[in-house]
Structure 1
Amino acid sequence: MSTANSLDTPFDVAAGDRPPLALIAGPTASGKSDCAVALGQELERRGRRAVVVNADSSQVYADLTVLSARPTEEEMGGIEHRLFGAWDGAEGCSAADWARAARETIADVHAEGAVPILVGGTGLYIRTLLDGIAPIPAIDANVREQVRAMPVADAYAALQVEDPERAARLAPADTARICRALEVVLSTGHPLAYWQQETSGGIGEAVTLYPAILLPERQALYARCDLRFARMIERGALAEVEALLARGLDPDLPVMRAIGVPELTGVVTGTCSLEEAVARGAQATRNYAKRQYTWLRHQPPEQWPRIEFENFDFKNITVILFRNLGLT
């Protein structure tokens, strides 16, 4: 078994080494994509090829180049990127779907003797990849249809009866999680907690993980969120939404609910002004960043380094990152 303590240490999977996996997580607009590229470039300067692997639930969609802030060719800095734009918007990408593709991609990168750098802020994706997923049976289509048709207040009341433990952990207006918990217990006869006792498919024990979580000062982060959405408009976000709407996709698909799509749809259909849509999109981005920040601060293992900083001095951030990953 490998005793490597640095990402740039050679590994031999055939000899039983646990291959390295770098993970850079952070809320949207925290600079994690730039850090991933900087890490890849540093590894390649040390003679180790690196590949950035996407763990962002919006950047998986080919239809969301601008609104997902997918890295441009220039921003990739000569480092190969995989699983960016890998799904057509007509096909939803669940955490299980992504984890399956990520497992295969990471295995391929390791087989090539390279170091995968996982980057993203979608906590469910990361947790599913590392820890595995609960073996929940397929949900009965009729049950799903009935649950999804219920007003959220009624669904929450039903969940309080069927699975009071789960209901107590959810906000009464959390439509997606309430519906998921209710359809599971009604369809399978067991609450989510029953199925989550046993997970499978995780790769956490098969790799040597080098994690780092970026946690910028909140107000600075929110300012970057506002700037990011404004720049998306400049880069063609409205045309991207027009193209999506022209496809006539199901409005319940994840790609149609991605931040910016519902807001800019109002501009395309003439129900709101661009100024209103930008304000709503920026607010939605800030709200999402806040949820990610909270999850990333509290949910990952305590031993995962949290890199906190007050300003976006990129050089200083990468110095701290490299030190935490054993590269200095």
Structure 2
Amino acid sequence: MCGADPDAADRRTTTPRLVSIVGPTASGKTGLGVAIAQRLAERGERAEIVNADAYQMYRGMDIGTAKASAAERAAVPHHLLDVIGPDETMSVARFQRMARECIADLQTRGIRPILVGGSGLYARAAIDDITFPGTDPAVRARLEERAEREGPGVLFAELERLDPEAAARMDPHNPRRTVRALEVIEVTGRPYSASLPRYRYVIPSVQLGLDLPRAELDRRIDLRTQAMFGDGFVDEVRALRPHLGVTAARALGYQQVIDYLDGLADLDETRFLVAQRTKRLARKQMGWFGRDPRIHWLQALNPRLVDLAMEIVDMADRGGYDAIDMHADEYVQHHLGDLS
């Protein structure tokens, strides 16, 4: 863990940071990742991209998830793309194991990982102090039955007694979260607050965030949606449909196209709905990433984007942001409330 190693402070100034690129969909994260890897290569440093988009891990889900192009993959090696079948289940906990193994392998071989993806919890799970306690369906069912019979207030009062720290950061009117917290306490024997996500790196990292004016982001999303359908998105969904598991079917756009194939909407309506839901997702992503004080935000339209990104990466390698990183979790707890 960070802070337990007496040599950690020395390594912070000598070990190249993992670079994590975050931001809303269609903001240009993959392009920036490729550009940074190429810039690093120019000065003799190897870097490769690790995917942190949940749905890009599925084989065959190419057009609808806007995977890196063949040219981008040829320019810089990409990892954790096309690693599971569409009928498999992907969870954040499973991704965390896969991502950390991949990152450790790259770093052992002297390659700097560049983490790229719009799935906020996935990106954080790779690099932050986040644990994922197991579940017990029987315990959960019993707690849900109690919530229905006794009322959510009774369960929340129990949570306040068992784990006041968690209760102080939770909405008492959200029975699902109260049930989950009590389930974790019973299954693990530890406070639920001990498993809440922390804004604390377990892998030395620097995060770059891409920001765009809303009108430009909406324009890009509209163009991307048109391109997806022009490139054969409907045919992709038609071919995948018999093999889509519950998790993969949740990917944005796929259910909407299935509805079109079932005659529940026409093509224009489907395109419009996919674009609108993508814009809504982009807003949610910005809200998610906006909570993290460690992210260095860059304007995606800035002509000096790559230069500025490299300056931040170099500063991070020198330990220039260590003070911000070390106090981020405390800042979020005191100023932004719920860590989940």
- TM bin, normalised by shorter chain, reads 0.7 to 0.9
Give the match for residue 286 of structure 1: 279
Q: Is the 8 A contact 1:37 1:77 kept in 2?
A: no
Q: Is the 8 A contact 2:29 2:210 kept in 1?
A: yes
**Residue identity in the other structure for 1:321:** A
* Residue 4 (structure 1) shift: 6.8
* Residue 51 (structure 1) shift: 0.8
Give the match for residue 261 of structure 1: 254
Of residues 10, 35, 40 in structure 2, which corresponds to 1:38?
A: 35
Q: Deviations over 1:134-163 (max 9, x none)?
A: 35232225846996x9xxxx98x9555533
Distance 1:240 1:34 in 2: 24
Distance 2:31 2:180 in 1: 40
TM-score calculated relative to the size of structure 1 = 0.78
Distance 1:38 1:244 in 2: 32
**Which blocks of at least 5 consecutive residues in structure 1 are unaligned?**
6-16, 173-177
Distance 1:186 1:159, change over 3 A: farther
| Structure 2 residue 56 is matched with structure 1 residue 56 | no
* Residue 33 (structure 1) shift: 0.5
| Structure 2 residue 326 is matched with structure 1 residue 306 | no
Aligned pairs (5 A) from 1:1-328: 1=7, 2=10, 18-134=15-131, 136-140=133-137, 143=140, 159=152, 161-163=154-156, 165=167, 169=171, 179=176, 182-185=179-182, 189=186, 194-198=191-195, 204-205=201-202, 207-247=203-243, 249-250=244-245, 253-298=246-291, 300=292, 302-309=293-300, 312-313=301-302, 315-326=303-314
* Residue 40 (structure 1) shift: 0.6
Q: Is the 8 A contact 1:139 1:188 kept in 2?
A: no
* Residue 188 (structure 1) shift: 5.1
Q: Give the secondary-structure state (helix, strand or coil) at the position aligned to 1:30.
A: coil
Identity of aligned residues (%): 27
Distance 2:28 2:172 in 1: 30
Q: Is the 8 A contact 1:263 1:277 kept in 2?
A: yes
* Residue 195 (structure 1) shift: 2.0
Distance 1:268 1:198, change over 3 A: closer
Q: Give the secondary-structure state (helix, strand or coil) at the position aligned to 2:314.
A: coil
Q: Is the 8 A contact 1:29 1:224 kept in 2?
A: yes
Give the match for residue 9 of structure 1: none
**Residue identity in the other structure for 1:234:** G
Distance 2:199 2:295 in 1: 18
Q: Give the secondary-structure state (helix, strand or coil) at the position aligned to 1:197.
A: helix
**Residue identity in the other structure for 1:111:** T
C-alpha RMSD of matched pairs (Å): 3.4
Q: Is the 8 A contact 2:207 2:294 kept in 1?
A: no
Alignment length (residue pairs): 296
* Residue 258 (structure 1) shift: 0.6
TM-score calculated relative to the size of structure 2 = 0.76
Distance 1:170 1:279 in 2: 37
**Which blocks of at least 5 consecutive residues in structure 2 are unaligned?**
1-6, 158-166, 316-340
* Residue 268 (structure 1) shift: 0.9
Distance 1:186 1:201, change over 3 A: closer
**Residue identity in the other structure for 2:219:** A
**Residue identity in the other structure for 1:322:** M
* Residue 198 (structure 1) shift: 4.3
Give the match for residue 175 of structure 1: none
Q: Is the 8 A contact 1:51 1:116 kept in 2?
A: yes
Which structure has greater helix proportion? 2
* Residue 35 (structure 1) shift: 0.1
Distance 1:275 1:18, change over 3 A: same
